[in-house]
A and B are shown apart, each in its own frame.
Chain A
Amino acid sequence: MSLWELGKLALTTFRTNRLRSFLTTLGIIIGVMTVIAIVSLIQGMNYEVERQISSLGSNVIYLQKINWGMGRIDWDEINRRPDLTLDDASAIARLPIVERVAALRNRTVNRLNYRNRKVTGIEMAGITPAYAATANYTIETGRFINSDDSMRKRPVCVIGGYIVDNLFPEEDPLGKRLNIEGKTFTIIGTLVRKGSFLGQTQDNVLFIPLSTFEKSFKPQGGFGAIAHSLAIVIEPKKGVPIEQAIDRIRELMRRRHSLGYDKPDDFGINTQETLREIYKNITRVAFIVMIAVAAISLLVGGIGIMNIMLVAVAERTREIGLRKALGATTRDILYQFLLESVFLALAGGAVGILLGIGIAKIVELTAHLRAAAPLWTILLGFGFAALVGIFFGIYPASRAARLDPIQALRYE
């Protein structure tokens, strides 16, 4: 009997038990769905994150008290580190490899008011004028903070588009007076928007001169204290390799902190690459979780298929005996049942692929992420399903094929 005819035979028997077939393949559905959804989302994330990281400026070095990264952080050790100072920034600025240096302190603003309007969730930074260039900020209206503002510790600020939208929907914000946690600042400029990242706006920023910041705001406690500590942003000269710039800065800072050769750095040097590493670690975790969920689901699904096929073989013992009496070979019976379990698994795989793409689409719409299921994941989904069908179908099918025709025919 040809494989084509055997396939059609397997399909007709499988159609008669729809609900049972669906429940049986649930494990495979979930497994394939997980793979498709997570791969699609990670693809979308990769695209977004790469766009973000690139927008930081390709070779900017962040010198901070803390190292970016994952895993356990020893807060006591971080707290014992000396604060970075403006003198450090000046010393770095004198290095021949350096083009430009900016310094800043960060703070989350709890209350930001304009007359009776208010907005929350604002990231404020006290900055030196060079920050606009090093961090890729462009002025839309008005002007940026200049050295005169810094010197005179003027109460002036530059605001992002999110603040404009919330506090000045119909007015020109330039020259208006903002209330930042009880202190009054005059708006001198607005920033070109950077858009949102993973559904989160990036235009909720507010810049004031660093000198004004230090005069007006007391350090926050806890994690805020570290965010509040001085960060130095360094842009090396064009043509200087970033590794070389990092080495120079590290040497200089170790000397300034009088660190012995056996002591570790007491400062963090962070770059775009650090971010890429962190991101890779996150996606690696996601991939491991995906593989684990998919493997367990496929295993459960496979056992489900094996179970249902053993039931089918028992239920259809007489049918098998009859088919053998009518001339079915061992191979005919083996293939009939094997194809049945493969079709079952493939059907589960198809449903899983559709659901996975569906989940990716929903996330795409809600989180503004480009989630695309590449063709290879769909083929992978079908491939896994088929393998599960074969692997877990071979035992029931061979049991069916080995049945003795007479005993099978007599079976009640």
Chain B
Amino acid sequence: MLLKTEQVTKIYYLGKTAVRALDGISLSIEKGEYVALMGPSGSGKSTLMHILGCLDTPTTGKYLFNGADTSQLSDTELARLRNKEFGFVFQNFNLLPRLSALANVELPLLYAGVGRKERLRRATELLTMVGLGDRLHHRSNELSGGEMQRVAIARALANQPAVILADEPTGNLDSRTGSEIMRLFDTLAQEGNTIVLVTHDKTIAEHARRTIKLKDGKVVEE
């Protein structure tokens, strides 16, 4: 089992009121699966994705990655896991605006300690694959929304991660560009990548082969 949660809860404190964002989530995702985490806003789907990506830790319960309990890992080991095993795609792209498309894709490789030449080769290859071979040296604030999300996907793939975690990847795009991006995810899934897609949109979720519905921090339907 690649990803496995056991009775995971997450409690936030907004002032003095406790918010139960996740309430006993137990699920497993295998290698090569294409999963949609679906639910209305406030259902806890983003929080769950952050925990799956080791950006956040559960309040109680266990999260096992490749069978290893992530609560036992140090900060540096978690950073290494985020770097090598997870590729994040965000709703608002989260590119560094002053850097070129190439430099943005190189970032995870830089933190992995990959040499200059190899970084350049790999980033060029990935950007060409997502259809931006002619935009390598454009600064990211000179790109359109669809192009920015393609750069972000190329960046997520940089270290050949075990899982791609995408949080509303089409949320800031028009429907035509959105479906282009979804076709890219479909292709990646066909190539054997493990993808976890967070969305509130039924038509987006239909791209995935498995849908997990969340409501009020609980799994309501598989």
- Which residues of A are at the interface with B, using a C-beta cutoff of 8 A? 1-2, 5, 9, 16, 318-319, 322-332, 405-406, 409
Contact = CB atoms under 8 A, between A and B. Distances in A.
Interface residues of B, number: 24
A68 to B, nearest CB: 65
A326 B98 contact: no
Contacts, number: 59
Contacts of B155: 326
A330 B79 contact: yes
B19 interface: no
B141 interface: no
A325 B53 contact: yes
Of listed B56, B111, B155, B159, residue having the most chain A CB within 10 A:
B111
A272 to B, nearest CB: 65
Contact of B96 (A5, A319, A325): A319
B113 A325 contact: no
B113 A326 contact: no
A328 B88 contact: no
Nearest to A330: B75
A325 B161 CA distance: 13
B82 interface: yes
Given A1-B113, A323-B107, A318 B79 contact: no
Interface of B: 50, 53, 55-56, 75-76, 79-80, 82-84, 88, 90, 94, 96, 98, 107-108, 110-113, 155, 159
B75 A329 contact: yes
A318 B95 CA distance: 10
Question: 4 closest A-B pairs (Cβ-Cβ)?
Answer: A327-B83, A327-B111, A329-B79, A326-B108
Nearest to A5: B110
Where chain B touches its partner, the secondary structure class is: helix
A324 B79 CA distance: 7
Contacts of A322: 94, 96
Given A1-B111, A324-B82, A326-B155, A331 B76 contact: yes
Nearest to A328: B111
A332 B111 contact: yes
* Residue among A1, A327, A330, A405 having the largest count of chain B Cβ atoms under 10 Å: A327
A2 B114 CA distance: 10
B214 to A, nearest CB: 18
Contacts of A328: 79, 83, 111
B94 A409 contact: yes
B55 A406 contact: yes
Contacts of A16: 98
B149 to A, nearest CB: 15
A39 to B, nearest CB: 40
Max chain B CB contacts within 10 Å: which of A326, A328, A330, A406?
A326
A325 B98 contact: no
Q: A9, A319, A322, A331: which has the most chain B beta carbons within 10 Å?
A: A322
Nearest to A319: B96
A339 to B, nearest CB: 15
10 contacts: A323-B111, A324-B55, A326-B107, A327-B79, A328-B79, A328-B111, A329-B79, A330-B79, A332-B111, A409-B55
Given A322-B96, A327-B112, A328-B83, 20 more contacts: A1-B111, A1-B113, A2-B113, A324-B79, A324-B82, A325-B53, A325-B82, A326-B88, A327-B80, A327-B82, A327-B108, A329-B75, A329-B76, A329-B111, A330-B79, A331-B76, A332-B111, A405-B55, A406-B55, A409-B55
